[in-house]
C-alpha cells in the first residue's frame, strides 16, 4: 500500500516536471523569437495579391497595363530622395537636421523645408487640394500648415473647413496674426489673381463611399475593431478639387484587446484579451521556422488577414467608384504612404541601428506591432505589382524618424511635432514628394477598363488643367452658398 502511494507520487512528480519543462520550452521559444521573417511575409503578400488581382480581373473586368516603367521610375526617385539623405547635428544646439538627396528628384535647388514650401506653392498655384484619410493624413495636413507659417489653425480632424494658403507676402503677414472666426471661401478668380491655393481635409478612416449620403450621419461601428467609424462625405469634396491626396491607413487593434492595464508586465499578459481575436483568424500562412504557430505568428496572421480580406478589397472598390465618377476621374489622385510607430515612442525602449528589425520586433507590445505589421502589406501595393497604387512616398523609409521621439501614448505615436526631428523629416519628405509628382504632370496608368481609357487613379496629363478645373467648377455655386463657415 505504502509502495503504491510512493509510486503514484513519483508518477505525478514526473508528469509535473514534464509539464513545467514543456511550458518553459514554449516560453523559451517565444523569448527566442527575436525577429519576424520579412522576406517570408513579403512572399506571402505577393502571392496573395497576385491571386486576388487575378480574380478581380476575371470577375469584374479590370485590366492592367503592362508598362509601369514610368511609375517605377517615380517611386525609385522618391525612395532615393529619402534613402540617400544625410543627418547633420549642430555643434552648439545639438539640433538634428535631415537633408534628403534633392538630386534624386532632378532638382537643382535646396531640399530645405522653406524651399520645399516655396516650390509646392508654385506648383499648386490656383488649385484646390483635398487631403482625405485617417488621423495620419490629418497630421500631414497639420505639418503642411505649420511649414507654411501663415497662421492657419484647425480645430481637429472632424472640424476642419478650409485653408487659403500660399498667399502673397503682404497678405501672409496679415494672416499670420490669426485667422478670422468666419472665413469666406475664395473664388477661383481670387486663387488665380493671387496665385494662391485652397487646402482642405476630409476625415475618412475607411474611404467609405455609401449609396446614400445619409449613412454619414448614422453611428456606424466597425465590426472588425468594435470602434466607431469616422467618415465624412469626402467624395463631394473631391469633386470640387483638382488634387486629391488620400490614404487608407492600418486598422487599430480590436477594442476588446485593450482590456488590460498598460503596466510593465502587460506584454506577458496580452494573449488573454487577444485570445478571442486570434482564434477567429482564418489564415495560418505565416508560420515560424519550427513549423509551430506561436502567439507572435498568430498576430502576424491577424495583420495579414485584416489587410488582405478587408482593407484591400475595400480600397479597390473605392478606386473603382472614383474611376466611374466623371469629375473625380479627371483629377490628380495621389496615394500617400504610411509610417511605422516607433518603438521608443510606443514603449520607451532604446533604439538600435537596425530600424526595420525594431519596428517589427516581437518584443514590441502587440498593439504597436499589429499596426506596424500592416505597413509592409500596404506598402506592397506599389508600382510593379498588380495593385499599382502610386504611393506619394514611402514615408516609413525615413529612418531618421525612428528613435528620436520620447515615449508618449501609443495612440499618439503616429504624430510628430513639427519642431521634432521626426516631424521635420515628414514635412520635407511629404511636401517635396508632393511637388515632385504634381510638377511632373506625366500620365500614370493604373487600372483600365476594357471600354475606356479613363484612369481609375493616377497623375493625368491634364492634371489640374482646364478639364479638371471645369469639372470642379460645376460644384462651386452650391459650395459657395455655404462659404461663410465658422472656423
pLDDT band of residue 266 (cuts 50, 70, 90) is low
Q: Please tell me the pTM assigned to this model.
A: 0.78
Spatial distance between the Cα atoms of 183 and 159, rounded to a whole number of angstroms:
14
**What b-and-e string marks burial along 178-216, b requiring 16 or more CB atoms within 10 Å of the CB?**
ebeeebebbeeeebeebebbbbbbbbbbbbbbeeeeeee
Spatial distance between the Cα atoms of 117 and 138, rounded to a whole number of angstroms:
18
| Residues 111-140 pLDDT 10s | 678 888 999 999 999 999 999 999 989 999
Spatial distance between the Cα atoms of 276 and 316, rounded to a whole number of angstroms:
29
Per DSSP, helices labelled H in 84-220 are: 113-123, 135-148, 169-175, 188-194
Q: How many CA atoms lie within 13 A of 58 on its CB side?
A: 6
Q: Break the chain into its structural domains and give their ranges.
A: 1-32, 37-486
Q: Give the position of cell 535631415.
A: 98
Spatial distance between the Cα atoms of 253 and 277, rounded to a whole number of angstroms:
9
pLDDT above 70: residue 464: no
In whole numbers, what is the pLDDT of the chain averaged over residues? Answer: 72
In this prediction, residues 269-289 reach a mean pLDDT of 78
In this prediction, residues 313-331 reach a mean pLDDT of 84
Pairing of strands 197-203, 163-165: antiparallel
In this prediction, residues 216-220 reach a mean pLDDT of 78
Rounded to 10 deg, the angle between the 421-440 and 135-148 helix axes is 90
Spatial distance between the Cα atoms of 80 and 73, rounded to a whole number of angstroms:
10
pLDDT at position 203, please?
Answer: 93
Total Cβ atoms within 10 A of residue 459: 25
The grid coordinates of residue 152 equal 492657419
3-state secondary structure of 183: strand
| Residues 37-78 pLDDT 10s | 888 888 888 888 888 877 777 776 655 555 567 777 887 888
The grid coordinates of residue 405 equal 521621439
Spatial distance between the Cα atoms of 200 and 16, rounded to a whole number of angstroms:
65
Element spanning 447, H or E: strand 447-448
pLDDT at position 479, please?
Answer: 38
Amino acid at each position: 500500500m505504502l509502495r503504491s502511494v510512493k509510486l503514484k507520487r513519483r508518477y505525478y512528480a514526473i508528469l509535473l516536471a514534464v509539464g513545467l519543462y514543456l511550458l518553459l520550452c514554449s516560453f523559451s521559444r517565444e523569448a527566442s523569437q527575436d525577429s519576424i521573417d520579412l522576406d517570408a511575409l513579403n512572399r506571402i503578400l505577393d502571392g496573395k495579391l497576385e491571386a486576388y488581382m487575378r480574380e478581380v480581373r476575371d470577375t469584374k473586368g479590370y485590366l492592367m497595363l503592362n508598362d509601369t516603367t514610368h511609375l517605377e521610375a517615380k517611386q525609385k526617385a522618391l525612395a532615393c530622395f529619402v534613402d540617400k539623405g544625410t543627418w547633420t547635428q549642430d555643434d552648439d544646439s545639438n539640433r538634428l537636421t535631415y537633408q534628403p538627396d534633392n538630386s534624386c528628384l532632378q532638382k537643382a535647388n535646396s531640399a530645405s523645408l522653406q524651399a520645399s514650401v516655396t516650390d509646392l506653392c508654385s506648383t499648386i498655384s490656383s488649385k484646390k487640394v483635398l487631403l482625405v484619410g485617417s488621423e495620419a493624413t490629418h497630421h500631414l495636413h497639420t505639418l503642411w500648415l505649420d511649414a507654411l507659417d501663415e497662421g492657419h489653425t484647425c480645430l481637429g480632424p472632424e472640424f476642419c473647413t478650409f485653408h487659403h494658403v500660399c498667399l502673397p507676402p503682404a497678405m501672409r503677414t496679415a494672416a499670420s496674426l490669426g485667422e478670422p472666426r468666419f472665413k469666406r471661401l475664395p473664388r477661383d478668380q481670387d486663387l488665380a489673381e493671387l496665385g494662391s491655393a485652397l487646402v482642405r481635409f476630409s476625415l475618412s478612416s475607411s474611404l467609405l463611399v455609401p449609396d446614400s449620403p445619409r449613412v454619414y450621419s448614422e453611428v456606424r461601428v466597425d465590426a472588425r475593431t468594435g470602434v466607431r467609424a469616422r467618415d465624412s462625405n469626402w467624395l463631394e469634396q473631391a469633386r470640387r478639387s483638382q488634387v486629391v491626396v488620400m490614404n487608407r491607413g492600418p486598422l487599430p487593434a480590436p477594442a476588446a484587446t485593450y482590456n488590460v492595464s498598460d503596466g510593465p508586465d502587460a506584454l506577458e499578459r496580452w494573449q488573454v484579451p487577444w485570445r478571442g481575436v486570434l482564434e477567429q483568424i482564418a489564415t495560418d500562412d505565416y508560420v515560424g521556422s519550427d513549423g509551430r504557430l506561436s502567439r507572435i505568428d498568430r498576430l502576424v496572421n491577424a495583420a495579414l488577414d485584416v489587410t488582405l480580406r478587408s482593407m484591400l478589397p475595400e480600397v479597390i472598390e473605392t478606386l473603382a467608384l472614383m474611376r466611374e465618377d466623371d469629375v473625380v476621374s479627371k483629377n490628380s489622385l495621389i496615394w500617400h504612404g504610411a509610417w511605422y510607430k516607433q518603438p521608443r515612442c510606443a514603449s520607451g525602449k532604446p533604439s538600435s541601428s537596425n530600424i526595420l528589425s525594431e519596428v517589427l520586433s516581437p518584443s514590441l507590445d502587440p498593439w504597436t506591432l499589429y499596426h506596424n505589421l500592416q505597413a509592409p502589406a500596404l506598402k506592397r501595393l506599389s508600382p510593379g505589382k498588380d495593385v499599382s497604387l502610386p504611393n506619394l512616398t514611402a514615408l516609413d523609409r525615413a529612418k531618421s524618424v525612428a528613435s528620436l521621439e520620447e515615449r508618449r501614448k501609443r495612440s499618439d505615436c503616429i504624430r510628430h511635432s513639427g519642431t521634432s526631428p521626426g516631424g521635420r523629416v515628414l514635412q520635407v519628405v511629404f511636401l517635396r514628394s508632393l511637388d515632385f509628382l504634381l510638377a511632373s504632370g506625366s500620365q500614370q496608368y493604373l487600372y483600365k477598363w476594357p471600354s475606356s481609357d479613363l484612369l481609375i487613379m493616377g497623375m493625368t496629363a491634364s492634371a489640374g488643367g482646364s478639364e479638371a478645373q471645369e469639372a470642379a467648377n460645376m460644384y462651386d455655386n452650391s459650395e459657395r452658398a455655404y462659404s461663410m463657415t465658422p472656423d
